[in-house]
Amino acid sequence: MTLWSLFWRFFFIGLFTIGGGQVAITLMYQELVESGIISADLFYNMLAVSESTPGPIGINMATYLGTEMFGIAGGLITTLGTVSPSIIVIVIIARFFTRMQDTLAVKSFFSVLRPAAAGLVAIAAWNVFKISVVLLNKSEQSGLWYDALEFPRIAAWLIFTLMLFKTKLPAILYIVFGALFGLIFI
């Protein structure tokens, strides 16, 4: 893997990541793990670090991997690869959108784009759930897809999810509660 080819992979990811960084997770997994560039373990470690640092997750992951593989220059190049498509698209949209925003084609595009982005976010959430809550290796003795010791972790995840959707607390408290659940149940 060369720095130039890594730039183009992240350019591709940035170009098709419509809907934010959570959507990028699915595409990054396909481009980086399924193509054999990095392992799934490194990807999920990278994801954990990127989610806990300030800034957009997709850019954080690009910077992390570029720096990991090629040093500071790699971090800068992969970050540039990720943000370049957005800059290009924003310039084009700013130029033409005000004249075209009421056309049927533009309205149709956005009506299809919203559910597609929601689906990609759901896939990313499911993949993170599988890694963080459900043990991927089956228990040989019980034949079950989970380990009995995982029940407290699953319960904590469910409680945190319900709290997230049913309460209206300041965002910082969700971060603190998430960290506490992680420390207690890992």
Domain residue ranges of the chain, discontinuous segments joined by +: 3-132, 137-186
Range with top average pLDDT, 87-96, 98-107, 118-127: 87-96
Distance (Å, rounded) from C-alpha 180 to C-alpha 160?
10
pLDDT score of 141 more than 60 = no
Confidence of residue 113 (pLDDT cuts 50, 70, 90): confident
pLDDT given at position 4: 92
Q: How confident is the model at residue 136 (pLDDT cuts 50, 70, 90)?
A: very low
**Residue 148: pLDDT over 80:** no
